[in-house]
Structure 1
């Protein structure tokens, strides 16, 4: 079945999204609107995403109020971040309106398509975006749902009239168990999301369940280098009807990377494909992004894209908002935004920037994300910040969590200082532009880093530096 004229499930005909401005929620809302559904929702604040949704005819309310739920709403879509006491959710339950989890809504959108689901502790958004951009460049007209904007607000999702649907598959709340992909990518497997996973065994069990959802005759693309992925591969080898393609720099990788040649803010990558070298450009810096591109290449080949054409098309990917995104330059200082919030991601982005920056100083404004993550990984976060020349550490961004006694940014700051890092604590986020103005010198690079609202500081820092 081609999705060129997909039907909208009855429950999705007039959906109401709580938290519609979120990356995952807004993408689903956008696709439904493009398919002809009458979409409404609410969010806590105005945003460019809200404006982009309104441009599609979506009704977006600011603030949460039971009155926002239309009398004829056919469902209420929620994510795991929505609390039970939300007034719109309470009203839906009182009125008997079906409550649909975000993952179930996305799974319904994939019906009748050939899905590619991208999973892993890190790199999902980038790899999903690479595939979406490359397959679009090849004329495949894919639909896609991504956890970040490609180049403009609202560009995190699209309804295409081709048969392929590329989706980011989130393991944080086990919601990726809902999907049944034809091709799945697993980039890495590490312990994270400590509110939902107590051990690596639980993580492995969750990823095994995801692999078990791959359609019969489907393909798993998985890292041959990352220890957690290697362990998972050993656990799923015996699943019948599954083709496993390993990718990486390991000698035994099925799609082996033989060279990653950094070239400023790009890389040239060579792989061995069918016994012959294939070299292509990755238009973002860093070894981890090169690995993401090779995983995307393998998945695209598995779904039927011509390998060499796909490799060339991957060069058209130039980044996702918040993934080492250049925000601007003022007074000779470049400001770059990074979504990194796990120690592995932080270290990878800092190493990538160091590789591209030469002798320039790298200054970081880091905002920890979640109390539970800081409690479990604060020491490792501090160690990652030691890769910067100097850092400013903000208070923890709580997101969906309540405070945990004794868990503060001091856990990170103390660990960073123990590792020899130059770290400043700053409890007033609004004071950061002035602090950076006193630290930064022409030629420096400033990274705003974290998954919370630290991203808002980039333009303010640039304005202060330019004043």
Structure 2
């Protein structure tokens, strides 16, 4: 923890981000003064303020508190999502403050712990949350930094001790290469972030480079079929860590877990979808490798409630099921469809989808269209730009024209009325942009209808 030695204040530029806020909570718990900036006030930033942090929403030097003026006593952490022309960020750099990326700070504060790192283009947050819950439930001395809000804790931060850390190993801008993992997993290596990587081959190369950080290859778990060395994970096919005898009972999965050392029978897991079951098997495997007492695993897994915006049920009644999900890649949409079809095979399904990033929409346009075409009805919102400028010709209308069923491009102002018009019993609100902010409004409106 030398990075915080003699530091009085940590200033987070982009403190409201899901990864940044978990780090802010960690620093705050250490008794260090926490300040920060974010573009907009959210429920999460309000919670951070209630926890004692000082947050501003104007990117201006005049907003910096007086106790942040000493460069030698202040550490500045920023997220890559912050624009390069940020007045605050450039001020800290020009005034010779110590300024580091979020990923480097995460690597520094976890390098002297037993570090469990969860990597993959899909499944990081759910796997990390399951892993964090299992180990916390089994009284392991763990701190978990999550990329989503775990329902069991209503937080993206779990703190039960400092000997073990759980982190999401983010492949975006290769930041996972700053970690020192003792135990790791790779859930998937699909092409993504082609705005950062030149090709699919470059992404795979980066994941292989990450896997090489794990010195003991028996401590690396990966989805069966990936070109890696370690121990593979699978469902209903031969693997080192294998889910066997999978069946659905009382709205959840019941299965047996076979590992190289033990077999656990009749485990229960309540998150829908084979992708989530795969995440659970991976998390169980990592827990065992970290020395978690196996007698506590069945109850720990059965009590996991899920992660907000990962197949989150908002309404469940006879005439309507409303589901909120973060999926923003064709593979994730396919996994979502598999899960909802398995649970509701006879019902028609409406998907409301907000594409995330112009570059991702362009790069995977045909894949998105094929995934969306599996549903019965499609409503598309405009592309959420996040960190990007528009790309000529790449719009939601362009994507909609590729979809093989009638769909509609809608604005947020008419979204609720369009959802109400649909006769589909199963309705899904999907995407990684600000569609999440619409979910509570839509849920409240539909709850008040019979």
Contact 1:17–1:42 (8 Å) recurs in 2: yes
Partner of 1:105: 105
Q: Deviations over 1:156-191 (max 9, x none)?
A: 013332411111110011000000111001011111
1:11 CA displacement:
7.4
Instruction: Work out the CA distance in 1 between the residues paired with 2:250 and 2:363.
Output: 35
User: Which of 68, 72, 95 lines up with 2:63 in the alignment?
Assistant: 68
Q: TM-score, normalised by structure 2?
A: 0.93
Which residue is equivalent to 1:371? 358
Task: Summarize deviations over 1:64-105 as a string: whole Å, max 9, x none.
Answer: 222233313612211111111001011111211121100011
1:436 aligned to which of 419, 437, 440: 419
Q: Which residue of 2 aligns with 1:3?
A: none
Aligned counterparts, 1:352-431, within 5 A: 352-417=339-404, 421-426=405-410, 428-431=411-414
The alpha carbon displacement at 1:112 in A equals 2.4
Q: 1:11 to 1:176 in 2, by over 3 A?
A: farther
Which residue of 2 is the match for residue 317 of structure 1?
304
Task: Label 1:160 to 1:464 Cα distance change in 2 as closer, same or farther (>3 A).
Answer: closer
Which of 17, 28, 33 is equivalent to 2:28? 33
CA contact (8 A) 1:127 1:293 kept: yes
Equivalent in the alignment of 2:239: 253
SS of equivalent to 1:345: helix
Taking structure 1 as reference, are residues 50 and 90 closer, same or farther at Cα in structure 2, changes over 3 Å only?
A: same
Determine if the alignment matches structure 1 residue 80 to structure 2 residue 80. Answer: yes
- 2:427 maps to 1:446: yes
1:458 to 436, 439, 450: 439
In structure 2, the CA distance between the partners of 1:66 and 1:263, relative to structure 1 (3 Å rule), is: farther
Q: Compute the displacement of 1:259 (Å).
A: 2.7
C-alpha contact 2:236 2:245 (8 A) present in aligned 1: no
Secondary structure of the corresponding residue to residue 352 of structure 1: helix
Question: Mean Cα displacement is larger for which, 457-466 or 83-92?
Answer: 457-466
Q: CA–CA distance in 2 between the matches of 1:217 and 1:408?
A: 44
- Output one character per residue of 1:416-456: Cα deviation in whole Å (capped at 9) or x when no partner: 12xxx231111x21210011111146xx1211100001112
Alignment of 1:202-213 (within 5 A): 202-213=202-213
Unpaired runs of at least 5, structure 2: none
Once residues 26 and 159 of structure 1 are traced to their aligned partners in structure 2, the CA distance between those partners, rounded to angstroms, is 14
Between 1:203-212 and 1:305-314, the stretch displaced more is 305-314
399-408 or 122-131, which deviates more: 399-408
Q: What are the superposed Cα offsets for residues 90-148 of structure 1, whole Å, 9 maximum, x if unpaired? A: 11112111211000111122132101000001000000000100111101131010100
With 147-156 and 385-394 compared, the bigger mean Cα shift is at 147-156
Residue 311 of structure 1 deviates from its aligned partner by 3.8
- Identify the range of structure 1 (129-138 vs 65-74) with the bigger mean alpha-carbon deviation: 65-74
Which residue of 266, 283, 286 maps to 2:273? Answer: 286
